[in-house]
Amino acid sequence: MNSYKYGFGIWLLLFSLFGASCTNKSVCLEPQTVALRGGFYYSNSDSTISLKDSFVVNANIYFGQGNSYFNNLKNTSKFSVTLSTISDSSLIIFQSDSSNFMAETFDTIRAYHENELNFISVACGYQFYHQINKITYTKHSIDTIYLNNTRVNNDVNKEHLKIVLRK
């Protein structure tokens, strides 16, 4: 009878060790994608560069491969988009009024960037950081774009683009 209890105890120990080793304890809390963040502004005057936040009432931002993603921006002054990880430039289309499809409501923004693969951990894998080298844009409803921070990484407190809208 003692050998039965002893054998049962060993099997119970092995089963609990096997069960504990198969549980997934590696949880990834780090996002795998990073985003370019921007804000909309109006210039206070023509002679100074001081800016004040501007809320867009009902705008759209199209981005991604073939501009297949979009954010509808309602009463906000901030936005975020992902940049291409397979190309050295990303196209962003800004539509200042989502109910108006006239050409003068659309602006294109092209961000030229370098992609850098960044290892997070075994559980999380990799993410791409970006170094923005240059920004080009059209000027229908956009007056100026300031490149505020060129390094796009997982720091969510940085604003990369300051987009000054025409009044």
Residues 125, 127, 128: CA angle, nearest 5 degrees? 150
Residue 27 is predicted with a pLDDT of: 81
pLDDT tens string for the chain (167 positions)? Answer: 566 666 666 666 666 655 555 555 668 887 788 999 999 998 876 655 667 777 888 999 999 888 889 899 999 999 999 999 999 999 999 999 999 999 999 999 999 999 999 998 888 899 999 999 999 999 999 999 999 999 999 999 999 999 999 87
Query: Distance between CA atoms of 30 and 28, rounded to whole angstroms?
Result: 6
Mapping DSSP to helix (H, G, I), strand (E, B) and coil, where does residue 14 land? helix
Chain-centroid distance, C-alpha 60: 16
Q: How many C-beta neighbours within 10 Å does residue 96 have? A: 21
CB 162 within 8 Å of CB 39 = yes
